[in-house]
């Protein structure tokens, strides 16, 4: 595991609040209606959604982690606006997979990224809150008080998000008697959504690349396969389907085992197509 942290690394994204997508929906819907403003005052958001300052800050932090909101100015991103138009209540499993990937691949959100990227994929036994010990190295960058108080809170929010709240639709985690493991059968990922997430992965971790090695896409750090708990077989099946539909080319000959992008489509373009056909 690479323990080098981004300068803006955060122990908390949720501030201990439950990740309620109905509340995030209300917040995003409200700020999208005011998207012509250069910023939306936080007090206006608090009044509109009927929640306290700390609670609104938690929702904004979550929405920002999912790539849906600029938190300080409370402005929706282009992705946030697309979701408000197309799936405002986060009912579509494709939307939830995109949101999951956005959070899990954001290295500055240390708890969520390490859990999805390193700890859960490597775990041989179910995990409990005792996994907080895996973050002891963070004492070098954060205070002892922050490590002791914030890490257990964020871990509870992480586990709860995938077992008690809307992310549970992904069937990403299984919980038995307070212990957690990756599920054997995660929810199906629509092919176009997987392609959009592949483009997000490329743009974030392979900027400017015209292609990506398939093993990296399946198993590499922050890859869709690893963060979404997908088998290599399932990833290759989706890539074959996307190849037949003309979204990408597969080069599996000689020493090549990669995909190449054959269009200028962006992740947002692909998601807009997906919602238009849903």
Low-confidence stretches of the chain (pLDDT beneath 70): 1-3
Considering the domain architecture, whether residues 51 and 162 belong to the same structural domain is answered as yes
Considering the domain architecture, whether residues 62 and 156 belong to the same structural domain is answered as yes
Considering the domain architecture, whether residues 178 and 231 belong to the same structural domain is answered as no
Angle at 223 between CA 220 and CA 226, to 5 degrees: 80
| pLDDT score of 233 | 96
Give me the count of residues in the chain: 278
Considering the domain architecture, whether residues 136 and 249 belong to the same structural domain is answered as no
Burial class (CB in 10 A: 0-12, 13-18, 19+), 207: exposed
Considering the domain architecture, whether residues 130 and 57 belong to the same structural domain is answered as yes
- The answer to whether 110 and 11 have CB atoms below 8 angstroms apart is yes
Considering the domain architecture, whether residues 173 and 205 belong to the same structural domain is answered as no
pLDDT in tens, 1-59: 656 777 788 888 888 888 899 999 999 999 999 988 889 999 999 999 999 999 999 99
Q: How far apart are CA 101 and CA 118, in angstroms?
A: 14
Its domain, for residue 252, covers 191-277
Element holding 10 (H helix, E strand): none
| The domain boundary residue, chosen from 186, 217, 238 | 186
- The answer to whether 28 and 84 have CB atoms below 8 angstroms apart is yes
| pLDDT score of 7 | 78
| The domain boundary residue, chosen from 138, 160, 186 | 186
Considering the domain architecture, whether residues 87 and 211 belong to the same structural domain is answered as no
Of the chain, the end-to-end C-alpha distance in Å amounts to: 39
Q: For position 249, which CATH number holds?
A: 1.10.10.10
Number of domains in the chain: 2
Considering the domain architecture, whether residues 197 and 178 belong to the same structural domain is answered as no
| pLDDT score of 102 | 97
Considering the domain architecture, whether residues 223 and 153 belong to the same structural domain is answered as no
| pLDDT score of 262 | 84
| The domain boundary residue, chosen from 150, 168, 186 | 186
Considering the domain architecture, whether residues 107 and 198 belong to the same structural domain is answered as no
Question: Which residue stretches of the chain are H helix?
Answer: 21-33, 42-49, 53-65, 78-86, 93-104, 110-114, 120-122, 144-163, 191-205, 214-219, 224-227, 232-244, 267-277
């Amino acid at each position: 595991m690479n323990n080098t942290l981004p300068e803006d690394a955060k122990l908390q994204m949720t501030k201990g609040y439950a990740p309620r997508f109905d509340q995030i929906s209300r917040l995003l819907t409200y700020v999208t209606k005011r998207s012509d403003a250069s910023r939306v005052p936080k007090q206006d958001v608090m009044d509109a959604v009927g929640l306290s300052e700390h609670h609104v800050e938690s929702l904004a932090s979550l929405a920002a982690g999912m790539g849906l909101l600029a938190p300080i100015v409370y402005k929706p991103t282009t992705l946030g606006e697309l979701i408000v138009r197309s799936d405002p209540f986060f009912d579509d499993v494709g939307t939830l997979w995109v949101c999951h990937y956005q959070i899990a691949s954001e290295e500055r959100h240390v708890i969520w990224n390490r859990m999805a990227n390193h700890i859960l994929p490597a775990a041989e036994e179910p995990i409990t809150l005792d996994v907080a010990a895996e973050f002891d190295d963070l004492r070098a960058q954060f205070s002892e008080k922050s490590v002791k108080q914030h890490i257990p809170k964020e871990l509870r929010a992480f586990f709860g998000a995938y077992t008690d709240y809307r992310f549970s639709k992904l069937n990403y985690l299984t919980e038995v008697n307070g212990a957690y493991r990756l599920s054997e059968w995660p929810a199906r990922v629509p092919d176009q959504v997987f392609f959009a997430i592949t483009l997000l992965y490329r743009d974030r971790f392979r900027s400017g690349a015209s292609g990506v090695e398939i093993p990296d896409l399946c198993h590499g750090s922050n890859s869709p396969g690893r963060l979404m708990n997908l088998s290599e077989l399932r990833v290759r099946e989706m890539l074959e389907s996307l190849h037949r539909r003309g979204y990408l080319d597969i080069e599996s000959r000689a020493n090549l085992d990669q995909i190449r992008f054959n269009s200028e489509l962006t992740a947002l373009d692909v998601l807009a197509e997906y919602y238009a056909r849903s």
